[in-house]
Chains A and B, each alone.
Chain A
Amino acid sequence: MEGHKKLDVWSLITILFLALFCLILVYPLFEILRQSVLDESGHFTIAQFVRFFSQSYYSKTIVNSFKVTIAITVVTLLIGVPISYFYSFYQLRGSKVIFVLSVLCCMSAPFIGAYSWILLLGRSGVITQFLSRYLGIKIGSIYGFGGILLVQSLKLFPLVFIYMNGAFKNIDNTLIEASANLGCVGLKRFFRVILKLSMPTVLAASLLVFMRAFADFGTPLLIGEGYRTFPVEIYNQYLGENGTDHNFAAAISVIAIVLTALVFFIQKWATSRYKFSINALHPVQKKTPRGLSGFLMYLYCYGLVAISFIPQVYIVYLSFRNCDQAVFKPGFSLANYQLAATKLLSRSIRNTLVLGVGSLAIIILFSVLIAYLVVRRPGFWNHLIDTLSMLPYIMPGSVIGIALVLAFGKQPFVLTGTMLIMIISLVIRRMPYTIRSANATLMQIPMSIEEASISLGTSKLKTFAVVTVPMMANGIISGAILSWVSIVTELSSSIILYNNRTITLTMSAYVAISRGNYGLACAFSAILTVLTSISLVVYLTLSKSEDISL
């Protein structure tokens, strides 16, 4: 900072943000820490932690979570990197379709895939029955480790796909040509040049997949059966029918935060070893796929996307089937939708839209302001704001949910059961992503334009509003619609915070599944799928681009 500076508008905004973050981030985190070291009568104890680590019934959940999460991360890379490579280096027909469908897969509500795969591949699933009746093939259980791995990999590989597309696009064609001149082509070139150049992105994508998979709650809940994972255990401790134990849930949450933080830093360290910058002055020339390899390429891309998208299509199909509670019956009708209409459908849709739009507006406002503070006025306090805002990135959704309940379920701030607490959770969960992209955007905008505006007599705030923000708009909007979709399909913290007044479409679908009203669940899920599809189409037409930044 430039020495002693007069307090201006921006200093005021810094103070406001610090106060706000203390309230909605630091205070809940502090509460969860405090509760984790208290016993029922309020005395200090570390018994909760001892209990967790000494009883393998609990500590095993960490091992399970890590095992399945690492497997998911590896598999998404294995299937995501090739599809992105084909997409970026070859002129595929219908590439837009591949792209849009795969994005839709990762945007779907977290548990819908799991639920649909059970209906398809479960012990009495359609495909299972077909295979065993006509072909005599018995497929193993879809539940447990394998099921979680299947569902999550097919849902999360698009993240790798999207990330890698960006990296591959930045590779300069001259590097490819140079390696060819030196005799390095084909697979060898792919591993030694192309993949190495995109290593930072591979690591970034891995981290994102890891965090999502580790924190995911809906999939293991439905398809995990005996395979007990960490987020489900937190949920059980908090919402279990017997022996509900808030202090223990808080202790597990603290352990979760420590572990994810550790992973975060390991990734940071790994990334720092691959620091270099390339300027793609000569973008890669896309080749036309030919012959057998071309055919295989098409088969791979379309096959992968089709398999990932099947669950959603099947759900939409089932939503029109007649259904009595858990049993699908022959014939088609709108009965499931009519039933949904009596089950808070209109309220769910209204809440979903209000929460989505409201949270998004706040996220955008905050992100733009914070980006400005961090990029244009770097200093201790503004970096503190930046760091604080990143905290939720390493907190699983259920941990945020519990932290908010612990903090805002009692005086002086009683917010449980309100829309506000839902908005707070959505804002703090999604903000890290939008702040990142706002920061990146602002860094590319030269300061001279703003200085010109100020030296011409426009006030700082007005300059920000009429000069800076419009220049940032593109970068912000691209991230915003995708944030919106993930807000709309949010489950893990809402499940702890929602009630009948603040229920959303995702929650309605979840409640229907967990109560065994399968037809109803399909109807809610189908509406949700339509909503996310429309959002994506709106986004693609508005932004006129194929790029998506998450």
Chain B
Amino acid sequence: MKRVIALLLAFLLVCPFVFANGSKESVPAEGGLGKNLVLYSTMTENDLNNLLKGFKVKYPDIEVEVVNGSAGELTARITAEKNRPQGDLMWGGLGNSDGQAYSEIFEHWISDYESEVMPDYRSNNGFYNLDHLSTVVFCVNTELEKKLGLDIKGYKDLLNPALKGQIVLSDPNSSSAAWNNLSNMMAVFGNDSKDAWDYIEGLMKNKLIISTSSSVCFKSVQSGEYVVGLTYEDGASTLLKSGATNIRMVYPQEGASASAFGCAVIKGAPHMEAAKAMVNYLMSADGQSSLGNALGTLRFTNTKAKYATTYLPASSEIKWVTRDVDWLIANKKQILEHWNKLYNSVN
């Protein structure tokens, strides 16, 4: 009898520790660079495969495990794991308009190559290493465009009633790609100007579709669900690279701009040294050159990097506008609230 109670008690008390230990075992604490590295990333499959390939050449002993997700998902996860970090670094989705938002969860550490980075894209918060640029583009389905008899060149073409319910954007409240597009509209039409909000209202009245995932804005355009997706260069051009012939990228004729995105080491990363090695690799001219050539879909920030952007137009063919990053950092919350209010009154 007593033995049974003891057993039962023991079970109830011990079971949490058994399971807790079970998961701890898989986090080895090793010296040096270690063998494992957990990478949290928002980047595309293509980006990641090529990064891992290049990284493997330089560090053949490190096994990299990738956790894919949206920027919001990943930062929320890192915040939740703050007291027991599971990931080592994050790549992608960390934009220069975040400001100090994630100061608490990343190591305040900058790569050895910061001095080689284009001056505009040096870290503005002390923990983001901005390695690549993400320019806003429209991903247009050319078959459907032809069927509608349209020739989409810029923002004003999107107000055409023929495109009612055919334009897709992800939710700026939860997607960095959508926020990137919204930022560009502010740069084109004037920060918080009447023109900007009038345009956005017009877009919403043309039944702008809000999707939950940013990859929908290029993938579902290619598969024919939508005619136009407001998206970013890397996503759309990756489809071109994998052989899609029914889409094209349109840089809005009113002006395009880019957000710089980067990588950062997670605070208290279990494999700190390996994480820093990967950030250094991503920021170095060598790393960016080899990754750039393998991808052909991404523009990088290291001035010494030399690579071909096979699937992107030359920078000189695009009309650029500059965005006020500091203003965007300071006004993000208010812009989003304005957006939500407007969206609600239209729908």
Residues in A lying within 8 Å of B, measured CB to CB? 9, 12-13, 16, 20, 55-57, 60, 122-124, 141, 143, 221-222, 224-226, 232, 236, 238-244, 324-327, 344, 358, 362, 405, 409-411, 414-420, 423, 459, 461-462, 465, 496, 499-502, 511, 514-517
Contacts and interface: CB of A to CB of B under 8 A. Distances in A.
A243 B336 contact: yes
B219 A239 contact: no
Contact of B209 (A12, A225, A411): A225
Contacts of B316: none
B86 A226 contact: no
A330 B216 CA distance: 22
Contacts of B75: 241, 244
B209 A502 contact: no
Nearest to B16: A420
Contact of A124 (B15, B72, B225): B225
Contacts of B81: 409, 416-417, 499
A243 B223 contact: no
Contacts of A325: 45, 219, 239, 242
A418 B72 contact: no
A327 B343 contact: no
A225 B84 contact: no
Interface stretch (B124-132, B166-174, B304-312): B166-174
**Of listed A123, A423, A516, residue having the most chain B CB within 10 A:** A516
**Of listed B8, B70, B211, residue having the most chain A CB within 10 A:** B8
Contacts of A232: 212
B174 A362 contact: no
A462 B9 CA distance: 15
Contact of B216 (A9, A418, A461, A516): A516
A418 B80 CA distance: 12
Interface residues of B, number: 72
Interface stretch (B19-27, B292-300, B317-325): B19-27
A57 B341 contact: yes
Given A423-B19, A501-B23, A515-B45, A241 B80 contact: no
Given A123-B225, A243-B336, A419-B19, A238 B76 contact: yes
A207 to B, nearest CB: 28
B332 interface: yes
Contacts of B22: 419
Interface stretch (B61-69, B150-158, B249-257): B61-69
B16 A414 contact: no
Contact of B80 (A409, A459, A465, A515): A409
B223 to A, nearest CB: 5
A101 to B, nearest CB: 29
A418 B17 CA distance: 11
Contacts of A123: 224-226
A241 to B, nearest CB: 3
30 contacts: A13-B8, A56-B344, A57-B341, A57-B343, A122-B225, A123-B224, A124-B223, A221-B212, A226-B347, A240-B171, A241-B71, A241-B75, A241-B175, A242-B332, A244-B79, A325-B45, A326-B222, A327-B223, A327-B242, A362-B15, A410-B83, A414-B83, A415-B20, A418-B24, A420-B20, A461-B8, A500-B38, A500-B65, A515-B45, A516-B215
A459 to B, nearest CB: 4
B73 interface: yes
B244 interface: yes
